[in-house]
């Protein structure tokens, strides 16, 4: 489980392919001694399992993750290459502060950035959600985009927008985003279950 509070911005250092599985080596500021093999780390919102790790000479860690064909099909991970920067979050531990909202790291699909607008120091970003996911997005509800917990500002059919404060742009990859970019989308878990109960009823 994750909360959508980004704790580091990592960088893809190497990419390799074997038997339809893509392995990434990711540089991070995390302490290698605190990362266990088999641990989960959210990379741009995708819950990935650590399959290898080592300390970096200059500090921090290099950890390896594997991407299965389904992950590459559903998420933006298929676009990652050497040099790609990723929002990172370690998995939630009992007793940690829950600053965002509960997230599984199971990405539902991708949303497209359709508009960027400056609002003084803040910024409003508008997204186009896949039709099948738009029904789970509500004004003032929560949504996870590229692993960042965000509050939905408004909803307009399949489009919705979120307002970003300068801090979010400075400590995540959001300052690098442009119109036309696709980001990983995980809808709110409560909304998903409520919708399913309504269908079943």
Residue with tokens 């442009």: 178
Where helices occur in 42-119 by DSSP H, the ranges are 69-74
**CATH code reported for the domain at 109-200:** 2.40.30.20
- List 25, 28, 40, 173, catalytic entry: 40
- Average pLDDT in the 178-195 region? 91
User: What does the alpha-carbon distance between residue 114 and residue 121 come to, in Å, rounded to a whole number?
Assistant: 20
Write the pLDDT tens digit of every residue in 161-179: 999 999 999 999 999 999 9
Residues near 137 by beta carbon (within 8 Å), at least 6 away in sequence? 129, 143, 152, 155, 160, 187, 188, 191
40 is catalytic: yes
- List 16, 34, 82, 151, catalytic entry: 151
How high is the mean pLDDT of the chain? 94
Label residue 190 by pLDDT band (50, 70, 90). confident
User: Considering the domain 8-90, what is its CATH architecture?
Assistant: Beta Barrel (2.40)
- State residue 184's pLDDT score: 98
Label residue 187 by pLDDT band (50, 70, 90). very high
Write the pLDDT tens digit of every residue in 74-92: 999 999 999 999 999 999 8
User: What does the alpha-carbon distance between residue 99 and residue 139 come to, in Å, rounded to a whole number?
Assistant: 19
Q: Tell me what percent of the residues of the chain surpass a pLDDT of 90.
A: 86
43 is catalytic: no
- List 16, 34, 82, 106, catalytic entry: 106
Write the pLDDT tens digit of every residue in 51-77: 999 999 989 999 999 999 999 999 999
Kindly state the DSSP code that residue 174 receives in the 8-state scheme.
G
Please report, for the chain, the start and end positions of each structural domain, with discontinuous segments joined by +.
8-90, 109-200
Check residue 4 and give left, alpha or beta (phi > 0: left; psi -120 to 50: alpha).
Answer: left
- State residue 185's pLDDT score: 98
47 is catalytic: yes
- State residue 92's pLDDT score: 86
Write the pLDDT tens digit of every residue in 133-162: 999 999 999 999 999 999 999 999 999 999
201 pLDDT more than 80 = no
151 is catalytic: yes
- List 29, 55, 68, 195, catalytic entry: 68
2 is catalytic: yes
């Amino acid at each position: 489980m994750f909360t959508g509070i980004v704790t580091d911005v990592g960088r893809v250092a190497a990419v390799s392919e074997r038997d339809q599985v893509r392995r990434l080596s990711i540089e991070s500021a995390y302490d290698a001694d605190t990362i266990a093999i088999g641990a989960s780390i959210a990379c741009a919102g995708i819950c990935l399992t650590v399959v290898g790790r080592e300390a970096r000479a200059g500090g921090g860690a290099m950890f390896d993750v594997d991407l299965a064909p389904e992950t590459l099909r559903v998420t933006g991970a298929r676009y990652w290459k050497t040099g790609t920067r990723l929002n990172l979050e370690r998995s939630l531990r009992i007793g940690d502060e829950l600053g965002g909202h509960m997230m599984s790291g199971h990405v539902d699909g991708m949303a497209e950035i359709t508009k960027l607008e400056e609002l003084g120091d803040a910024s409003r970003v508008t997204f186009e959600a896949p039709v099948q996911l738009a029904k789970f997005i509500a004004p003032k509800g929560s949504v996870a985009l590229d692993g960042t917990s965000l509050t939905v500002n408004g909803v307009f059919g399949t489009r919705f927008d979120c307002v970003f404060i300068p801090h979010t742009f400075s400590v995540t990859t959001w300052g690098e985003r442009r119109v036309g970019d696709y980001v990983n989308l995980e809808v709110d878990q409560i909304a998903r279950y409520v919708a399913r109960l309504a269908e079943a009823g």
